[in-house]
Amino acid sequence: MSDKMRLIVMGQQAFGKDVLARLLDEGRDEVVAVYCEPDREGKPVDPIKEFALEKGLPVYQPAHFRDQADLDQLAEHKADLMIMAFVNVFVPEAARDTPRMGSICFHPSLLPLHRGPSAVNWPIIMGRKESGFSWFYPSDGLDEGDVLLMWKCPIGPDDTVIDLYFKKIYPAAVDSALEVVDLYRSGNPPHIEQDESQATYERRCTRRHARIDWNKPVGQVYDLIRGTNPSPGAWTTLNGDEVQVFDAARQPGDGVSGKIVEIGEDGVSVQCVGGRILIKRVRPAGEGKIAASEWAASANLATGVELGS
Protein backbone atom coordinates (compact mmCIF):
# COMPACT_ATOMS: atom_id res chain seq x y z
CA MET A 1 0.00 0.00 0.00
CA SER A 2 1.20 3.49 -0.82
CA ASP A 3 2.01 5.47 2.30
CA LYS A 4 0.08 8.49 1.02
CA MET A 5 -3.68 7.97 0.85
CA ARG A 6 -6.23 9.60 -1.43
CA LEU A 7 -9.08 10.90 0.71
CA ILE A 8 -12.60 12.21 0.12
CA VAL A 9 -13.92 14.34 2.99
CA MET A 10 -17.70 14.47 3.29
CA GLY A 11 -19.19 16.75 5.92
CA GLN A 12 -21.01 19.86 6.97
CA GLN A 13 -20.57 22.95 9.06
CA ALA A 14 -17.66 23.78 11.36
CA PHE A 15 -16.80 20.19 12.30
CA GLY A 16 -16.50 19.06 8.69
CA LYS A 17 -14.43 22.13 7.88
CA ASP A 18 -12.08 21.61 10.85
CA VAL A 19 -11.56 17.92 10.07
CA LEU A 20 -10.68 18.91 6.50
CA ALA A 21 -8.32 21.61 7.76
CA ARG A 22 -6.61 19.17 10.16
CA LEU A 23 -5.98 16.66 7.39
CA LEU A 24 -4.66 19.36 5.06
CA ASP A 25 -2.43 20.88 7.74
CA GLU A 26 -0.89 17.52 8.56
CA GLY A 27 -0.17 16.91 4.88
CA ARG A 28 0.31 13.16 5.20
CA ASP A 29 -2.38 12.42 2.64
CA GLU A 30 -4.08 13.95 -0.39
CA VAL A 31 -7.65 15.20 -0.19
CA VAL A 32 -8.94 14.67 -3.71
CA ALA A 33 -12.52 15.94 -3.27
CA VAL A 34 -14.94 17.42 -0.76
CA TYR A 35 -18.64 16.54 -0.58
CA CYS A 36 -21.26 18.51 1.33
CA GLU A 37 -24.99 19.20 1.37
CA PRO A 38 -26.60 21.24 -1.42
CA ASP A 39 -26.78 25.00 -0.83
CA ARG A 40 -29.95 26.19 0.87
CA GLU A 41 -31.73 29.28 -0.36
CA GLY A 42 -31.33 32.17 2.06
CA LYS A 43 -28.69 30.33 4.10
CA PRO A 44 -24.98 31.18 4.26
CA VAL A 45 -22.50 29.05 2.33
CA ASP A 46 -21.50 25.98 4.33
CA PRO A 47 -18.11 26.59 6.04
CA ILE A 48 -16.63 23.36 4.65
CA LYS A 49 -17.54 24.37 1.08
CA GLU A 50 -16.15 27.86 1.54
CA PHE A 51 -12.90 26.54 3.01
CA ALA A 52 -12.48 23.81 0.38
CA LEU A 53 -12.91 26.31 -2.46
CA GLU A 54 -10.35 28.62 -0.82
CA LYS A 55 -7.93 25.68 -0.84
CA GLY A 56 -8.64 24.95 -4.50
CA LEU A 57 -10.33 21.62 -3.82
CA PRO A 58 -13.19 20.33 -5.99
CA VAL A 59 -16.55 20.46 -4.19
CA TYR A 60 -19.59 18.30 -4.99
CA GLN A 61 -23.09 18.70 -3.54
CA PRO A 62 -25.44 15.89 -4.61
CA ALA A 63 -28.79 15.85 -2.80
CA HIS A 64 -28.58 12.04 -2.82
CA PHE A 65 -26.60 9.30 -4.55
CA ARG A 66 -29.43 7.61 -6.41
CA ASP A 67 -28.22 8.81 -9.82
CA GLN A 68 -25.55 6.74 -11.53
CA ALA A 69 -23.89 9.96 -12.69
CA ASP A 70 -23.15 10.88 -9.05
CA LEU A 71 -21.68 7.43 -8.37
CA ASP A 72 -19.56 7.62 -11.52
CA GLN A 73 -18.28 11.03 -10.48
CA LEU A 74 -17.41 9.66 -7.03
CA ALA A 75 -15.49 6.80 -8.63
CA GLU A 76 -13.49 9.16 -10.84
CA HIS A 77 -11.58 10.43 -7.79
CA LYS A 78 -10.01 6.97 -7.31
CA ALA A 79 -10.09 7.56 -3.55
CA ASP A 80 -8.73 5.14 -0.99
CA LEU A 81 -11.08 6.25 1.81
CA MET A 82 -14.07 8.54 2.38
CA ILE A 83 -14.20 10.28 5.76
CA MET A 84 -17.76 11.20 6.73
CA ALA A 85 -17.54 14.01 9.26
CA PHE A 86 -20.99 15.21 10.39
CA VAL A 87 -23.16 13.98 7.53
CA ASN A 88 -26.90 14.67 7.30
CA VAL A 89 -27.49 13.19 3.84
CA PHE A 90 -28.15 9.44 3.64
CA VAL A 91 -25.26 7.82 1.77
CA PRO A 92 -26.21 4.44 0.23
CA GLU A 93 -23.93 1.42 0.14
CA ALA A 94 -23.04 1.94 -3.52
CA ALA A 95 -21.52 5.33 -2.65
CA ARG A 96 -19.97 4.26 0.66
CA ASP A 97 -18.17 1.35 -1.02
CA THR A 98 -16.87 3.33 -3.99
CA PRO A 99 -13.53 4.30 -2.37
CA ARG A 100 -11.08 1.40 -2.40
CA MET A 101 -11.21 0.95 1.39
CA GLY A 102 -14.79 2.12 1.85
CA SER A 103 -16.01 4.84 4.21
CA ILE A 104 -15.80 5.73 7.89
CA CYS A 105 -18.29 7.91 9.79
CA PHE A 106 -18.19 10.07 12.95
CA HIS A 107 -20.83 9.99 15.68
CA PRO A 108 -20.69 12.03 18.94
CA SER A 109 -21.61 9.27 21.40
CA LEU A 110 -20.31 5.98 22.74
CA LEU A 111 -22.07 3.64 20.33
CA PRO A 112 -24.34 1.76 20.60
CA LEU A 113 -25.61 4.32 23.13
CA HIS A 114 -27.48 7.35 21.81
CA ARG A 115 -27.86 6.56 18.16
CA GLY A 116 -29.68 9.35 16.40
CA PRO A 117 -29.41 13.06 15.68
CA SER A 118 -29.13 14.58 19.20
CA ALA A 119 -26.44 12.36 20.64
CA VAL A 120 -24.85 15.12 22.73
CA ASN A 121 -28.06 16.36 24.36
CA TRP A 122 -29.52 13.08 25.57
CA PRO A 123 -26.64 11.75 27.72
CA ILE A 124 -26.76 14.98 29.76
CA ILE A 125 -30.57 15.02 29.95
CA MET A 126 -30.51 11.40 31.14
CA GLY A 127 -27.96 12.16 33.84
CA ARG A 128 -25.15 10.01 32.43
CA LYS A 129 -21.65 10.49 33.82
CA GLU A 130 -19.75 9.63 30.63
CA SER A 131 -19.90 10.22 26.90
CA GLY A 132 -17.49 10.61 23.99
CA PHE A 133 -17.42 9.80 20.30
CA SER A 134 -17.15 6.89 17.89
CA TRP A 135 -15.83 6.42 14.36
CA PHE A 136 -17.80 3.58 12.81
CA TYR A 137 -18.27 1.75 9.53
CA PRO A 138 -21.57 3.15 8.20
CA SER A 139 -24.33 0.80 7.08
CA ASP A 140 -27.91 1.34 5.93
CA GLY A 141 -29.01 1.21 9.59
CA LEU A 142 -28.79 4.38 11.67
CA ASP A 143 -25.38 4.44 13.44
CA GLU A 144 -25.32 0.62 13.49
CA GLY A 145 -22.02 -0.41 11.89
CA ASP A 146 -18.94 -1.86 13.58
CA VAL A 147 -16.81 0.63 15.49
CA LEU A 148 -13.28 1.51 14.41
CA LEU A 149 -12.31 3.87 17.22
CA MET A 150 -13.92 5.12 20.43
CA TRP A 151 -12.97 7.98 22.78
CA LYS A 152 -14.46 8.54 26.23
CA CYS A 153 -14.73 11.56 28.50
CA PRO A 154 -16.52 12.36 31.77
CA ILE A 155 -19.67 14.47 31.84
CA GLY A 156 -19.20 16.90 34.71
CA PRO A 157 -22.12 17.52 37.09
CA ASP A 158 -22.57 21.03 35.69
CA ASP A 159 -21.61 20.40 32.04
CA THR A 160 -23.85 21.88 29.37
CA VAL A 161 -23.91 20.89 25.69
CA ILE A 162 -21.29 23.60 25.13
CA ASP A 163 -19.00 22.06 27.75
CA LEU A 164 -19.41 18.47 26.61
CA TYR A 165 -19.35 18.96 22.85
CA PHE A 166 -17.35 22.07 22.09
CA LYS A 167 -14.81 21.86 24.93
CA LYS A 168 -14.35 18.08 25.19
CA ILE A 169 -15.64 16.02 22.26
CA TYR A 170 -15.05 18.45 19.39
CA PRO A 171 -11.29 19.14 19.70
CA ALA A 172 -10.45 15.50 20.42
CA ALA A 173 -12.62 14.34 17.51
CA VAL A 174 -10.97 16.71 15.02
CA ASP A 175 -7.52 15.44 16.03
CA SER A 176 -8.72 11.83 15.88
CA ALA A 177 -9.29 12.07 12.12
CA LEU A 178 -5.53 11.60 11.74
CA GLU A 179 -5.60 8.47 13.88
CA VAL A 180 -8.50 7.12 11.82
CA VAL A 181 -6.51 7.42 8.59
CA ASP A 182 -3.46 5.85 10.23
CA LEU A 183 -5.54 2.86 11.36
CA TYR A 184 -6.52 2.29 7.73
CA ARG A 185 -2.95 2.87 6.62
CA SER A 186 -1.86 0.04 8.93
CA GLY A 187 -3.79 -2.37 6.68
CA ASN A 188 -5.78 -3.96 9.52
CA PRO A 189 -8.23 -1.40 10.98
CA PRO A 190 -10.19 -2.68 14.01
CA HIS A 191 -13.79 -3.86 13.66
CA ILE A 192 -15.56 -3.79 17.05
CA GLU A 193 -19.10 -5.14 16.83
CA GLN A 194 -21.75 -3.04 18.53
CA ASP A 195 -23.66 -4.79 21.32
CA GLU A 196 -27.28 -4.51 20.19
CA SER A 197 -28.53 -5.43 23.66
CA GLN A 198 -27.10 -2.10 24.90
CA ALA A 199 -28.31 0.01 21.98
CA THR A 200 -30.42 3.12 22.52
CA TYR A 201 -31.98 5.46 19.98
CA GLU A 202 -33.45 8.87 20.71
CA ARG A 203 -35.29 11.22 18.40
CA ARG A 204 -34.03 14.70 17.67
CA CYS A 205 -34.22 16.77 20.85
CA THR A 206 -36.71 19.53 20.08
CA ARG A 207 -38.71 22.20 21.84
CA ARG A 208 -41.31 19.56 22.68
CA HIS A 209 -38.78 17.66 24.81
CA ALA A 210 -37.38 20.80 26.46
CA ARG A 211 -40.37 22.00 28.48
CA ILE A 212 -39.54 22.13 32.18
CA ASP A 213 -41.78 20.24 34.61
CA TRP A 214 -41.12 21.86 37.97
CA ASN A 215 -42.84 18.92 39.69
CA LYS A 216 -39.93 16.63 38.77
CA PRO A 217 -36.93 15.95 41.05
CA VAL A 218 -34.48 18.84 41.00
CA GLY A 219 -31.74 16.67 39.46
CA GLN A 220 -33.90 15.80 36.46
CA VAL A 221 -34.86 19.44 35.95
CA TYR A 222 -31.25 20.55 36.14
CA ASP A 223 -30.12 17.85 33.70
CA LEU A 224 -32.81 18.97 31.22
CA ILE A 225 -31.73 22.61 31.42
CA ARG A 226 -28.05 21.89 30.88
CA GLY A 227 -28.74 19.18 28.29
CA THR A 228 -30.65 21.65 26.13
CA ASN A 229 -28.27 24.59 26.59
CA PRO A 230 -27.76 26.26 24.13
CA SER A 231 -30.14 24.34 21.84
CA PRO A 232 -33.05 23.79 21.70
CA GLY A 233 -33.22 25.66 25.03
CA ALA A 234 -35.26 24.54 28.03
CA TRP A 235 -38.40 26.59 28.60
CA THR A 236 -41.20 27.36 30.99
CA THR A 237 -44.06 29.84 31.07
CA LEU A 238 -44.97 32.92 33.09
CA ASN A 239 -48.61 33.94 32.85
CA GLY A 240 -48.84 31.89 29.65
CA ASP A 241 -45.84 33.53 27.99
CA GLU A 242 -42.85 31.36 27.10
CA VAL A 243 -39.48 31.97 28.78
CA GLN A 244 -36.40 30.00 27.77
CA VAL A 245 -34.02 29.04 30.57
CA PHE A 246 -30.29 28.74 29.94
CA ASP A 247 -27.62 29.06 32.63
CA ALA A 248 -28.75 27.68 35.99
CA ALA A 249 -27.52 26.04 39.18
CA ARG A 250 -28.84 23.58 41.77
CA GLN A 251 -29.68 24.69 45.30
CA PRO A 252 -30.98 22.95 48.42
CA GLY A 253 -34.36 23.89 49.84
CA ASP A 254 -37.97 22.81 50.30
CA GLY A 255 -41.27 24.31 49.27
CA VAL A 256 -44.09 24.13 46.75
CA SER A 257 -42.88 22.98 43.32
CA GLY A 258 -42.97 25.61 40.58
CA LYS A 259 -43.09 28.56 42.98
CA ILE A 260 -40.47 31.31 42.93
CA VAL A 261 -38.90 31.23 46.38
CA GLU A 262 -36.18 33.88 46.10
CA ILE A 263 -35.13 36.71 43.78
CA GLY A 264 -31.70 38.31 43.94
CA GLU A 265 -28.74 39.60 41.98
CA ASP A 266 -27.66 36.01 41.20
CA GLY A 267 -31.01 35.13 39.67
CA VAL A 268 -34.42 33.63 40.34
CA SER A 269 -34.75 30.55 42.56
CA VAL A 270 -37.58 28.12 41.71
CA GLN A 271 -38.68 25.18 43.81
CA CYS A 272 -38.61 21.62 42.45
CA VAL A 273 -38.99 18.27 44.21
CA GLY A 274 -36.08 17.88 46.63
CA GLY A 275 -34.33 21.14 45.82
CA ARG A 276 -34.31 24.37 43.86
CA ILE A 277 -33.10 25.68 40.52
CA LEU A 278 -31.37 29.06 40.46
CA ILE A 279 -32.17 30.50 37.03
CA LYS A 280 -29.32 32.75 35.92
CA ARG A 281 -30.03 33.57 32.28
CA VAL A 282 -33.23 33.56 30.26
CA ARG A 283 -34.73 34.54 26.93
CA PRO A 284 -38.26 35.95 27.25
CA ALA A 285 -40.49 35.52 24.20
CA GLY A 286 -39.50 37.89 21.42
CA GLU A 287 -36.36 39.12 23.20
CA GLY A 288 -32.67 38.27 23.44
CA LYS A 289 -30.91 36.47 26.27
CA ILE A 290 -30.73 38.50 29.48
CA ALA A 291 -29.74 37.99 33.10
CA ALA A 292 -32.55 36.44 35.13
CA SER A 293 -32.34 39.33 37.61
CA GLU A 294 -33.03 41.76 34.76
CA TRP A 295 -35.97 39.64 33.63
CA ALA A 296 -37.33 39.53 37.19
CA ALA A 297 -37.28 43.31 37.41
CA SER A 298 -38.87 43.88 33.99
CA ALA A 299 -41.57 41.25 34.61
CA ASN A 300 -42.27 42.47 38.18
CA LEU A 301 -41.64 39.00 39.57
CA ALA A 302 -42.29 38.30 43.21
CA THR A 303 -41.80 35.34 45.49
CA GLY A 304 -44.75 32.98 45.43
CA VAL A 305 -45.35 33.45 41.69
CA GLU A 306 -45.80 30.11 39.94
CA LEU A 307 -43.97 29.18 36.74
CA GLY A 308 -45.16 26.67 34.17
CA SER A 309 -48.85 26.78 34.94
Q: Are residues 79 and 191 in the same domain?
A: yes
Mean pLDDT, rounded, for 14-43: 96
Beta bridge mates, 134 = 107, 150
Which pLDDT does position 36 carry in this prediction? 96
Please indicate, yes or no, if residue 243 is contained in any of the structural domains: yes
Which pLDDT does position 3 carry in this prediction? 83
**Domain that includes residue 74, residue range:** 6-198
Which pLDDT does position 1 carry in this prediction? 43
For the stretch 85-104, pLDDT in tens is 989 888 999 999 999 999 99
Please indicate, yes or no, if residue 179 is contained in any of the structural domains: yes
Mean pLDDT, rounded, for 166-176: 98
Q: Are residues 125 and 177 in the same domain?
A: yes
Alpha-carbon distance 204 to 270, whole Å?
28
* CATH number of the domain to which 233 belongs: 3.10.25.10
Question: Domain tally for the chain?
Answer: 2
* CATH number of the domain to which 113 belongs: 3.40.50.170
Q: Are residues 187 and 62 in the same domain?
A: yes
Residue 148 has pLDDT above 80, yes or no: yes
Mean predicted lDDT score pLDDT of the chain = 96
Residue 162 has pLDDT above 80, yes or no: yes
Q: Are residues 10 and 136 in the same domain?
A: yes
φ, ψ of residue 74 in degrees (nearest 5): -60, -40
Please indicate, yes or no, if residue 259 is contained in any of the structural domains: yes
Residue 2 has pLDDT above 70, yes or no: no
Which pLDDT does position 54 carry in this prediction? 97
Which pLDDT does position 136 carry in this prediction? 98
Task: Report pTM.
Answer: 0.94
Please indicate, yes or no, if residue 306 is contained in any of the structural domains: no
Q: Are residues 241 and 153 in the same domain?
A: no
Q: Are residues 267 and 194 in the same domain?
A: no
Which pLDDT does position 111 carry in this prediction? 98
Cβ-defined contacts of 279-282 (< 8 Å, 24+): 279/245, 279/248, 280/246, 280/247, 280/248, 280/249, 281/245, 281/246, 281/247, 281/248, 282/243, 282/244, 282/245, 282/246
Which pLDDT does position 309 carry in this prediction? 75
